[in-house]
Amino acid sequence: MIISVPQGQQETVSLPGGYEVNTYLFGGKKGKPVVLLHGGGVDSAMLSWRDTVPALVEAGFQVYLPDWPGYGSSPPPPKPFTQELLIEVTTGLLEAWGLKEASLAGISMGGGAALGFTLAHPERVEKLILIGTYGLQDKTSAHFFSVLLVKLPLVNNLFYAMVRSSRWMIRETMKTIIRDPASLTEALIDEAVVALRNPNAGKMFAQFQRDEARWTGVKTCYVPRLGEIKVPTLIVHGTADIGVPVKYAREAAGRIPNAKLHIIEGAGHWTQRDYPEEVNRVMVDFLRE
């Protein structure tokens, strides 16, 4: 399925701290603002949210999207890529865009950024949407081996080299995060090929993982603070998410006051590209409430 993206505005935003961030704005200046935050790996704003933007624009929202520093068309940041950097950049972007308040939606690493920003600046968040989000578990799946791989840069570089070398490898890798065969289109594979050609592909995520990895657990786990979240929150999660098992989404929904939980049977970690129509529907319904 090919979804047409409406015409938008692309510009580079200069932020305090020396960050140069490529951004997109769709829907003009009318309607309530929604900020979409992409994930890690070789992700980018339009790679993650291409199927989501048209639905939000049609529903009457302003849609803002950044490429995180070192991702997509944004140059690398002047300092190591960390969770703290994500929150700093999100704060700077809202200031640069002139948004006193906005709804935030994040996937995976971007969900962790949205969650961290909400805890730091609750008065600036109207609604929060978390999709396959980071920050809900104290350890990763197969934690010891995950940390071991993260601590060995050569292995990480070899992995990206292997995936980059073969369209078949790209498809097989993406099958782990997109479980609906109908969603794993040739057009999506083409997008991944382009993303992997970026000279910075995977480098920022490797920095992020190394900073987060501890032998006893991950650095960023917001579970003890979830009860502090007072803004309306929607958690969207797939039952086939192997990156963040669905049990963590269920536990988070029980800790965040009045959170709404939408489970998509069979969906993988890249939920909004795996089941775009369902994710679009629940996002629009929630944002309209």
Give residue-wise pLDDT tens across range 176-214. 999 999 999 999 999 999 998 898 988 999 899 888 987
The mean pLDDT of 126-147, rounded to a whole number, is 84
- Indicate the pTM of the whole model: 0.93
> What is the pLDDT at residue 143?
55
The mean pLDDT of 236-246, rounded to a whole number, is 96
* DSSP codes joined into one string, the chain: ---PPPP-EEEEEEETTTEEEEEEEESTT-S-EEEEE--STT--HHHHHTTTHHHHHHTT-EEEEEPPTTSTTSPPPSS---HHHHHHHHHHHHHHHT-SSEEEEEETHHHHHHHHHHHH-GGGEEEEEEES-SSS-SS-TTHHHHHHHHT-HHHHHHHHHHHHT-HHHHHHHHTTT---GGGS-HHHHHHHHHHHHSTTTTHHHHHHHHHHEETTEES---GGGGGG--S-EEEEEETT-SSS-HHHHHHHHHHSTT-EEEEETT--SSHHHHSHHHHHHHHHHHHH-
The mean pLDDT of 132-136, rounded to a whole number, is 97
Is residue 146's pLDDT more than 90? Answer: no
Q: Where are the domains of the chain?
A: 9-288
Q: Which of 79-93, 164-178, 184-198 has the lowest mean pLDDT?
A: 164-178
**CATH code, residues 9-288:** 3.40.50.1820
Give residue-wise pLDDT tens across range 10-47. 999 999 999 999 999 999 778 999 999 999 999 999 99
The mean pLDDT of 40-56, rounded to a whole number, is 96
